[in-house]
Amino acid sequence: MKQGSYDIREGFASKPPLQALRSKALRRAGSVVLCGLCLSGFMLAVEFMLIPVRLQPMAQPFYRIAFCFALPFRFLLAPVVRDGGAVPNHLLFTTLTSFLAVGLFFAVYKILRHFTRSEARPERDGETIGRRVFLRRASSGISLACVAGIGAEGALLEPQRLAIRNYALPIRDLPTSLNGLRLVQISDTHYGPFVSLAYLNAVIAQVNALRPDLIALTGDYVLKSDRALEDGVVIFRNLESRLGTVAVLGNHDHWESAARCRQLFGEIGVPLVDNDRLYLSAAGFTSQLDNPESVCIAGVGDLWTDAVRPDLAFADVPPEMPRVLLSHNPDVAELPDLDPFRVDLMLSGHTHGGQVRLPIVGSPVVPSRYGQKYSGGLVLGPAGPVIVSRGVGMALFPVRLGVPPEIGVISLERA
Ligand SMILES: [Fe+2]
């Protein structure tokens, strides 16, 4: 028989070793992909079955697992099935990250296999083969343990490990009566199948313990469920601050129902400042400027789902008055529309720090046109300083790794 041809009795034995190895690897990869897709499709069905109960604390862990496994299948269905306006975006982010996680597993596995193989190659006696089997099993065990450890950290431990980030910002023209104002920012609480009410109550207790003068909420209070709107917004009734709480809406609030969100915020007495403003003095908030010793607390609509109108937000604000601007999406800092306006500090959320941050490469997935720039923390934008909260909840996928949830404590200092 010609060298390299396939024989039904001899299989690939007559092929050159490299070609036989390649065919075997291809067949194996094909079966793995097929099995993976079948599992993923099944998990998508499980995820859909869990939709009616996904807000129940007991159902949440199962929903999260099914959601993660269903990602590849969802990605395949993306061109034909649309589940809300921006799903292709989300699917792309989540799928890329899940592929990265699988890639990481295989990388660890392959590295370990490489070392164990090269050690065992010289001899083929019984003892060496026994050692090879042991080393192969050990490398699989170590890879699995690594993935299980990283998974437990990312899915169970880190999402609950709330960090407090402190900032001190010098503000020009800040009235003496507001010097040292303690502003606490929380963002992206995302009540829904990934985040429980018990966790959000713990976050609110922590915020209250910080004794804030002012609390700023920078959007995305729900995830994947209009039924979550009620509890996800009404929970902010428990926030306590000396001068008040102010908020803007995020893209998820618009996707579920901006009208219902506005109604609920109205019921709990928290003003929304989307394309609007309030004046803050030592006595509290007013909608009309009646005390020159004030700071303007303004907001703009969400960049993806609403109009961004700084002209409305800053209408009639005296030029010498300092301004804090709330914008859910930090990319607003780069808009030319903002150029004519004075902004002393912008507060944003939305990017969640990418939710997964790897050593050296940073966050692989950041929902921003400016890459890593607005992934989290204090950033100098064209219009001024921007504090980007990494958020307290999860949205893209039920995992946080290297990006713990956070509460921002910002002290405004007279410059
Ligand atoms: Fe968000």
pLDDT on residue 190: 96
Say how many Å lie between the CA of residue 251 and the centre of ligand 1: 8
Helix pair 60-77, 87-120: axis angle to 10 deg:
100
Distance 9 CA to ligand 1 centre (A): 59
Q: How far is Cα 243 from Cα 268, in angstroms, rounded to an integer?
A: 15
Model confidence pTM above 0.85: no
The β-bridge relationship of strands 384-388 and 345-348 is: parallel
> Residue 114 Cα, ligand 1 centroid: separation in angstroms?
41
Profile the chain (415 residues) by mean pLDDT over runs of 10 residues: 50 62 80 79 81 87 86 71 49 59 67 64 60 74 71 73 95 95 97 94 97 97 90 97 97 95 97 97 92 95 96 94 97 95 97 90 88 95 95 91 95 93
Residue 73 CA to ligand 1 centre (angstroms): 23
Distance 395 CA to ligand 1 centre (A): 6
Q: Which residues have CB under 8 Å from 334's CB, separation 6+?
A: 369, 370, 381, 382
CA of 187 to the centre of ligand 1 (A): 8
Alpha carbon of 352 to ligand 1 centroid (Å): 6
CA 190 – ligand 1 centroid, Å: 7
Q: Are the C-beta atoms of 279 and 286 separated by less than 8 Å? A: yes
pLDDT at 87: 47
CA dihedral for 76, 81, 84, 86, sign (positive or negative): positive
In order, the DSSP letters of 209-267 are HT--SEEEE-S--B-S-TTHHHHHHHGGGG---SSEEEE---HHHHHHHHHHHHHHHHH
Ligand 1 centroid – CA 128 distance (Å): 54
Q: How many angstroms is it from 252 CA to the middle of ligand 1?
A: 7
- How far is ligand 1, taken at its centre, from the CA of residue 285, in Å? 27
User: Do residues 283 and 232 make contact, with C-beta atoms less than 8 angstroms apart?
Assistant: no
Q: In this structure, are residues 45 and 69 in contact, taking their beta carbons and an 8 Å threshold? A: no
How many angstroms does the Cα of residue 253 sit away from the middle of ligand 1?
Answer: 9
Confidence (pLDDT) at 86 = 44
pLDDT for res 337: 92
- 113 CA from centroid of ligand 1 (Å): 40
- Rounded to 10°, the helix 60-77/17-50 angle is 120
182 sits in which H/E element? strand 181-186
Q: Ligand 1 center to residue 351 CA distance, Å?
A: 6
- What does the pLDDT read at residue 369? 93
* Residue closest to 217 by CA, chosen among 242, 250, 193, 257: 250
By C-alpha distance, which of 368, 365, 371 is closest to 399? 365
401 neighbors 159 (Cβ within 8 angstroms): no
CA of 135 to the centre of ligand 1 (A): 44
Q: How far is the CA of 350 from the centre of ligand 1 (A)?
A: 4
Cα(74) to ligand 1 centroid in Å equals 20
| Packed helices 126-152 and 87-120: angle between N→C axes, nearest 10 degrees | 150
- Extract the tokens encoding 220: 């995305």
Contact yes or no for 212/178 (Cβ under 8 A): no
- Please name which of 189, 186, 249 lies closest in space to residue 212, comparing C-alpha atoms: 186
Sheet holding 295-299, edge to edge: 284-286, 276-281, 295-299, 323-326, 345-348, 384-388, 377-381
Beta bridge partners of 85: none
Distance 221 CA to ligand 1 centre (A): 8
Give the separation between CA 183 and CA 200, rounded to whole angstroms: 19
Q: What is the pLDDT of residue 2?
A: 47
